[in-house]
Amino acid sequence: MTVSVRALRPDARADLEGFARVRHAALPFLLVTPDSLAHDLTHMHPDAHYRPLVAVADGEVIGTAQVHLSHESSEPGQGNINVYVHPGHTRRGAGTLLVRAAEEHLAAHGATRLFAWVLDERGNRAFAGRHGYRASRAAHFLRLDLAGGALPPLQDPPPGVELRKGSDFAGDPRPLFELDAETTADEPSDVDTEFTDYEAWLAETWRHPLFSPELTSVALVDGRPAAFSAARTDGGTRYGTVMTGTARAHRGRGLAKLAKNDSLHRARAAGYTEAFTGNDAGNGPMIAINQWFGYEICATEVRHVRDIG
């Protein structure tokens, strides 16, 4: 059975559904839908040179790759390759074909250093090593049972602090963009990220089909956003927090925990039964917060790096 690799076709529903199916089977801790894939493909910034790939056998998508440049980094030439093959179709060469095609695409657009997230399992790490990638930092996926687990009780905000929904900023989301930019810049990572393009943020984050402004919680101090917990949902029963952070001037006051608890309670009340989030393995304070909520680590990924050119 021959395996071939090609670009994902955004106008082909079978491609989008196949990509989402493989990602869910290989990495069930991240929210992805056919509509979210189509949105990413059509709204990702042109400088990212985003090119999702699919490996196909007998007309069925059996492997995927998300491929793009880190255009929001101050250091040029950094590319990203995240390859996932359906667990029922491994050892057929799909992963190798995807890696080769992804590397060729990124090299053609000036990439000199490539980053790839790899599940912390023996076979996956060996695969990365065979292709010249070396291990770097690790990150955890965490899951919380919203249906059967107990959440910490809601707390009243301290004096001068007000809790609001992200949807309250629908008329002018710029204050949330500024807060997101500040907190993202301080996240532990191999690649620095600088949000400077407000219109790109609106297209890629605020208007993303998975993003839920209604379940996003924002803590205001003296009327200005100081901390937030950004929520995504898959339209079914799965909810995820994709960013929780506090402005530098207000850290150490428990505002991020306050916002996240508010969002979790509202997600459960809305009928969501599973909550997911992710943590850099070295981010002790956020890991402690998530464990306080009852999250448990369900998987670990290790970022791998390869220099080319």
Q: What is the pTM of this model?
A: 0.93
What's the CA gap between 102 and 8, in Å, rounded? 12
What's the CA gap between 55 and 23, in Å, rounded? 12
260 in the Ramachandran plot: left (φ > 0), alpha (ψ -120 to 50) or beta? alpha
Lowest mean pLDDT among 9-13, 178-182, 284-288: 284-288
Q: How many CA atoms lie within 13 A of 60 on its CB side?
A: 10
Per-residue model confidence as pLDDT tens digits over 42-88: 999 999 999 999 999 999 999 999 999 998 888 899 999 999 999 99
Residue 288: strand, helix, or coil: helix
**C-alpha distances in Å from residue 156, one per residue of 129, 164, 255, 258, 263:** 50, 13, 11, 9, 14
Per-residue model confidence as pLDDT tens digits over 245-260: 999 999 999 999 999 9
**Do 225 and 218 touch, CB atoms closer than 8 A?**
yes
Higher pLDDT, 235 or 34: 34
Q: How confident is the model at residue 24 (pLDDT cuts 50, 70, 90)?
A: very high
The whole-number pLDDT of residue 187 equals: 79
Instruction: Note the maximum CA span of the chain.
Output: 66
Mean pLDDT over residues 25-38, rounded? 95
Q: Where are the domains of the chain?
A: 3-111, 144-299
What's the CA gap between 298 and 286, in Å, rounded? 16
Residue 274: strand, helix, or coil: strand
Token reading at 114: 């490539």
What's the CA gap between 3 and 55, in Å, rounded? 6
12 in the Ramachandran plot: left (φ > 0), alpha (ψ -120 to 50) or beta? beta
Q: Which of 49, 58, 64 has its CA nearest to residue 16?
A: 64
Fold match between domain 3-111 and domain 144-299: yes
Residue 182: strand, helix, or coil: helix
Per-residue model confidence as pLDDT tens digits over 287-305: 888 999 999 999 999 999 9
What's the CA gap between 297 and 139, in Å, rounded? 10
What's the CA gap between 97 and 106, in Å, rounded? 14
What's the CA gap between 263 and 258, in Å, rounded? 9
* Assigned CATH for 144-299: 3.40.630.30
The whole-number pLDDT of residue 221 equals: 98
pLDDT at 188 over 80: no
Mean pLDDT of all residues in the chain?
A: 95
Q: Which of 187, 195, 173, 157 has its CA nearest to residue 248?
A: 187
Could you say which DSSP state residue 309 is in?
-
* Assigned CATH for 3-111: 3.40.630.30
**Do 286 and 140 touch, CB atoms closer than 8 A?**
no
